[in-house]
Structure 1
Amino acid sequence: MLRKRSSLILCGTFLFITWNAILVLLLWGRPPAGQMEETGQKHSEVAEKPTNDLMGDLLRIADTLEAELEIQKNFLIEIQSHRTLWKASNRNRSKVIMPPEPAIPILVIACNRVTVKRCLDKLLQFRPSAELSPIIVSQDCGHAETAEVIRSYGNQVTHLKQPDLSDIAVRPEHKKFQGYYKISRHYHWALNQVFKTLSHSSVVIVEDDLEVAPDFFDYFRALLPLLKADPSLWCASAWNDNGRDGYVDPGKANLLYRTDFFPGLGWMLLREVWEELEPKWPASFWDDWMRQPEQRRNRACIRPEISRTLTFGRQGVSLGQFFDKYLRYIKLNTEFVPFTKLDLSYLKEETYRKDFDKEVYSAPVVTYEDINKGKLKGPGPFRLQYSNKESFKVLARNLGIMDDLKSGVPRTGYRGVVSFLSRGRRIYLAPPPGWSQYDPTWS
């Protein structure tokens, strides 16, 4: 653009000088006035033939030149005005202000585990920006040693302390679940701090026993616009419940899914969703409460093929439930996937549902014996069909994937379908064609 502008100015200047040179020659060499009349020119536009009155001739030429110069002056003024417009246009273009990237805080829920250091070290190691990814550690329990570990990070993290450490009045049969009540109370307080006190518009929640993958931050930043734009989504999670080594495809670290099951364990929440959930937040067992139809409202979450979090906390209020059998074997992604540079439009509901149903129900149906005895022919995928709660649980248990259901939804399930690898081949454990909805009694 600059080169074009300079060329035009030079061209205009050249034309101006050339025009005036030709003008002088024409004025001195014009034919007699009579001849000019024969061509239809007016007397007022024709210079008289030079006379013996040199001074008079010069004055007449000067008058004519003055008129012509006025025309050229106006022409140059017009060029200059265009030049000014170009400059203003370029200035405005250079001053176009892109909307700033939103900060996505990481909320670390902590209590009495000094091993929170492992969690924080990984977060700080992979965090690309302190401004875009502030780390907020919310500590319950009042455990002094854990508080000291958190304080040792100085201004690299924000340390919040849950002020209410009192026991919670519960029914006698729930006394052993006191820890779950306190966790729910802590989540409620901490999320209010993030959204109401600190005024953030989104948050990624991790607990103090999670280690994150190298692309953890890029993963959530890429999913934020999708989460905001698609009302059929209500969270994004870094976790695959069936993500054990051997059950996921290591060659598809960039593969993401929609799931009807709320995964947790490193998940993103929008302020709008919190405003919906906060008034009815439960006294305990908040994660199972999130999986109820009244909260989910037929919305889905995004989850990865390969987990971006790994839990190392065997000891906790759940007393190691599932840890030894499943969680300790979850594969943590090690390959950095630039999710913010990928096209994730395939995750939009209409597109995803259509493609997913087509792939699942066009896959050949096989039996458990075919899988177990290595009789599958071809690369897959293959469909293994279940018909009721009992057949699902038996097949899931025999295949080594998690067999529990919450409000009728299997872990990682989408439209009743659970996707995983078995002996290197993709298996879809699926209900019969025509599936319409979950049965909440399957729990």
Structure 2
Amino acid sequence: MIRKKGSLILFGALLFVTWNAILVLLLWSRPPSSSQQSDGTREKAEEPTDGLMKDLFGILDTFANELDKQRKILLQIQTYQSVWVPANNDRAKVDVPRQPVIPILVIACNRVTVKRCLDKLLQLRPSAELYPIIVSQDCGHAETAAVISSYGDQVTHLKQPDLSDIAVRQEHKKFQGYYKISRHYHWALNQVFKTLSHTSVIVVEDDLEVAPDFFEYFRALLPLLQSDPTLWCVSAWNDNGRGGFVDPAKTDLLYRTDFFPGLGWMLLKELWEELEPKWPAAFWDDWMRQPEQRRDRACVRPEISRTLTFGRQGVSLGQFFDKYLRDIKLNTEFVPFTKMDLNYLKEEKYKEIFQKEVYSAPLVKYEEVKQGQLKGSGPVRLEYSSKDSFKMLAKNLGIMDDLKSGVPRAGYRGVVSFFYRGRRIYLAPPPGWTRWVPDQR
């Protein structure tokens, strides 16, 4: 099946190229028209006119551009095939993937715009066998169900059976939606890991669009997540990933972060077996950020996000969307992460390199950063001394200023790395800092 699909794509591309070549040859060799066959004009008609030559050269230019485009497409196909076609040529084993299967779980409810999410996933997915798409729908919204069903066997459509209201305290009535979301996540993840017996999953929501290397990114980081017990997730999201706050040249830059980012994230079955028995009734993402769940484990996140949210309306009523989320920069390049050595992200090596980079950077003042008075071109360090001073500096510089369970968004060991006016800034606590005490609830 996989080899047949690849062969069809190659055949189609070659057919297109061949057709264009034949077309050009026919145009080049076409005989003069009958009006040009008289004895008096025969000699002149044998030479192409300037207009005809111009047309022919225009066609040749177009043909050359199409050839170049097809060459790039064929190279991209070849790259993808190296991932999802088995290394040996045994035809009997061609349909058996050599790589682990990583399903994509799409959490849906009542947004018909789930079509945008699914279209992009299907467009960029290199292999249906390695990346089955499972759409779990809550809410019972008929129009959304019809959109999902229209994809047929391209996706697996699950419907959360319990649509009842949840009994909550009177003061939490307005948060009913958050309780239903948590219930849905619990049910959907159980379906993936217990019913369908997968060993890992990438969770996205119905309002996310993915980058060209979304699948490549998670494929490359799965072995690291499996082998490093100090990691508990891989996320496609940078909370401070708006244009102007990320380095556009660093498309391959990855970080460890103590903050659980969500918004396109991968977890293993072992983690779900740990979390499932104590899964919360509501606010599951903030619950994940509590020390009791995180247990000093980190996630991997990118400099430039591999997901983009387009869903302003939801249970949060657009909270943060206009100010922070709308302008998140989505990566547009394909980075071959599976070809890279990502072992630098293992804890001991990463901690040493990162802290050396941060605390060897020159210490600067807020006014110098804000007013563009920094000298040189390398990274600099801006120091904060308390949670309040962090919030003040972050807010004034335009990055996310909240902390969850004492951890700043996108932070690692208290350090938040971001771009500002073309310069790398490390907003960092003093050397030797350990952690902030989480706020008591």
TM-score, length-scaled by structure 1: 0.78
2:214 matches 1:207: no
Partner of 1:267: 265
How far apart, CA to CA, are the structure 2 residues paired with 1:94 and 1:145? 45
Alignment of 1:318-357 (within 5 A): 318-357=316-355
Shift of 1:297: 0.1
Taking a change above 3 Å as real, the CA distance of residues 94 and 207 of structure 1, as seen in their structure-2 partners, is closer
2:294 matches 1:288: no
How far apart, CA to CA, are the structure 2 residues paired with 1:299 and 1:122? 31
Shift of 1:379: 1.0
- Provide the secondary structure at the position in 2 that maps to 1:258: strand
How far apart, CA to CA, are the structure 2 residues paired with 1:396 and 1:362? 21
Alignment of 1:144-223 (within 5 A): 144-223=142-221
Task: Name the amino acid aligned to 1:185.
Answer: R
2:106 matches 1:108: yes
1:388 aligned residue (375, 386, 389) = 386
Task: Name the amino acid aligned to 2:428.
Answer: A
The superposition leaves residues 169-193 of structure 1 with CA deviations (integer Å, 9 ceiling, x where unpaired) of: 0000000000000000000000000
Alignment of 1:240-279 (within 5 A): 240-279=238-277
Contact 2:259 2:289 in 1 (8 A): yes
The superposition leaves residues 12-33 of structure 1 with CA deviations (integer Å, 9 ceiling, x where unpaired) of: xxxxxxxxxxxxxxxxxxxxxx
Taking a change above 3 Å as real, the CA distance of residues 442 and 349 of structure 1, as seen in their structure-2 partners, is farther
Task: Name the amino acid aligned to 1:110.
Answer: A
Partner of 2:363: 365
Shift of 1:380: 1.9
How far apart, CA to CA, are the structure 1 residues paired with 2:135 and 2:438? 36
Task: Name the amino acid aligned to 2:309.
Answer: T
Partner of 2:22: none
How far apart, CA to CA, are the structure 1 residues paired with 2:271 and 2:312? 30
Partner of 1:139: 137
Shift of 1:428: 0.2
Shift of 1:374: 1.1
Contact 1:406 1:442 in 2 (8 A): no
Shift of 1:439: 1.7
2:118 matches 1:123: no
The superposition leaves residues 142-170 of structure 1 with CA deviations (integer Å, 9 ceiling, x where unpaired) of: 00000000000000000000000000000
How far apart, CA to CA, are the structure 1 residues paired with 2:312 and 2:260? 21
Partner of 2:51: none
Partner of 1:89: none
Shift of 1:435: 1.1
- Provide the secondary structure at the position in 2 that maps to 1:325: helix
How far apart, CA to CA, are the structure 1 residues paired with 2:102 and 2:377? 40
Contact 1:112 1:143 in 2 (8 A): yes
- Provide the secondary structure at the position in 1 that maps to 2:355: helix
Partner of 2:406: 408
How far apart, CA to CA, are the structure 2 residues paired with 1:424 and 1:146? 43
Task: Name the amino acid aligned to 1:203.
Answer: V
Partner of 2:376: 378
User: Where in structure 1 are there 5+ consecutive unaligned residues?
Assistant: 1-92
Shift of 1:94: 9.1
How far apart, CA to CA, are the structure 2 residues paired with 1:401 and 1:304? 16
Contact 1:104 1:133 in 2 (8 A): yes
How far apart, CA to CA, are the structure 2 residues paired with 1:160 and 1:316? 21
Contact 2:387 2:436 in 1 (8 A): no
Shift of 1:375: 1.0
Shift of 1:389: 1.0
- Provide the secondary structure at the position in 2 that maps to 1:326: helix
How far apart, CA to CA, are the structure 1 residues paired with 2:284 and 2:394? 25
- Provide the secondary structure at the position in 2 that maps to 1:436: coil
- Provide the secondary structure at the position in 2 that maps to 1:187: helix
Structure 1 residue runs of 4 or more that deviate by more than 2 Å after TM superposition? 97-100
Contact 1:389 1:442 in 2 (8 A): no
User: Would you say how many aligned residue pairs link Structure 1 and Structure 2?
Assistant: 350
How far apart, CA to CA, are the structure 2 residues paired with 1:190 and 1:99? 25
How far apart, CA to CA, are the structure 2 residues paired with 1:401 and 1:94? 52
How far apart, CA to CA, are the structure 1 residues paired with 2:255 and 2:199? 24
How far apart, CA to CA, are the structure 1 residues paired with 2:205 and 2:341? 30
Task: Name the amino acid aligned to 1:359.
Answer: E
Task: Name the amino acid aligned to 1:351.
Answer: K
User: Where in structure 2 are there 5+ consecutive unaligned residues?
Assistant: 1-87
How far apart, CA to CA, are the structure 2 residues paired with 1:439 and 1:421? 27
Shift of 1:436: 1.4
Alignment of 1:79-90 (within 5 A): none
Taking a change above 3 Å as real, the CA distance of residues 193 and 185 of structure 1, as seen in their structure-2 partners, is same
- Taking only the aligned residue pairs, the percentage that are identical comes to 82
Root-mean-square deviation (Å)? 1.4
Partner of 1:61: none
Shift of 1:437: 2.2
Partner of 1:66: none
How far apart, CA to CA, are the structure 2 residues paired with 1:321 and 1:254? 30
TM-score, length-scaled by structure 2: 0.78
How far apart, CA to CA, are the structure 2 residues paired with 1:332 and 1:99? 30
- Provide the secondary structure at the position in 2 that maps to 1:203: strand
